[in-house]
Structure 1
Amino acid sequence: LGVNVALSEVWAKGGEGGLALADEVVALCESGDEAGRSAETFSFSYESDLSIAEKIEAIARRVYRADGVVFEPAAQKEIAQLEALGFGDMPVCMAKTQYSFSDDATKLGAPRDFTVTVRQVKVSAGAGFIVALTGSIMTMPGLGKAPAAHKIDVLEDGTIVGLF
């Protein structure tokens, strides 16, 4: 298909396993995209001086093509608290379903005529961004009854088994 490819092996080799992919991303950014657009055409979804709610609204409208955003009362209160605490300048990360540009997993792909519901907003201070939780998304999905770690062992000779 003529698509640039780089193998990512970070799961097996750590940071070194991601160097080929990182080099490819940098090369693509420097050369422009597949449509021939230069790197200068990049623009953010919102201006950094907007309020948290305005940033969320801009992402929803410009990226997801939503008609707007509905902020539940708890989210409104959290936004006010975060801005009062000085976190309003942080960028916003949206936590939503991977199945749709909407926050509704049953509206697959890129639906039209929808609003995004923000039910909670929290700060990830160490990472340096605000997280807007939408719909019924969970940030820490449930894990199985038997974690994969139970199958991993280190043999007497130092060989690790049970990883793959």
Structure 2
Amino acid sequence: MPKHLIQRWLPDQEALKTHKHLKMFGSLLLDNNLWHLNRRSASAAVGVGLFMAWIPVPFQMLLAAGGAIACRANLPLSVALVWLSNPFTMPPLFYGAYLVGCQLLGQPSQHIDIEFTWPWLVSVFETLAPPLLLGSLVLAVLSSLIGYAFIRTFWRINTVRQWQRRKVARAC
């Protein structure tokens, strides 16, 4: 059941192989382990995807693809999970990461007046970057560990239930 549920939402293998930004990985994309969906590859993919979703940089999909290749996790699932931080969810996610970073550093959060100028961006980076980066890192690690453990546990429970159903069906 989890396998079929996940496979419904995953992009096609050929579509990812021909994606203009993923071509840089070349023959590494041909590894069959990147395309299999099992408990190990799915849980690793969730871990990689959730981790990369919290990293406040552009091109998170490329980072997720690289992480999936390095961990031999399911590539489409890793790349798809990065979209949890999309243009609509990024502001609250990264503001939450900033608040977590402020708490961990023991400093008060600051009110931010947004201007889209280079001097403003440089000044904001000096004051807001440390708590944002620390909070993002902490939340990335926590969410990836929780996601990994959840998928491993959920998959195992579902497999045991299927075994029990087969056992009952044979007994009848």
Q: What's the TM-score once normalised by structure 2's chain length?
A: 0.24
> Of Structure 1 and Structure 2, which has the larger fraction of its residues in helix?
2
RCO higher in 1 or 2 (8 Å CA, sep ≥ 6)?
A: 2
Q: What's the TM-score once normalised by structure 1's chain length?
A: 0.25
> Of Structure 1 and Structure 2, which has the larger fraction of its residues in strand?
1
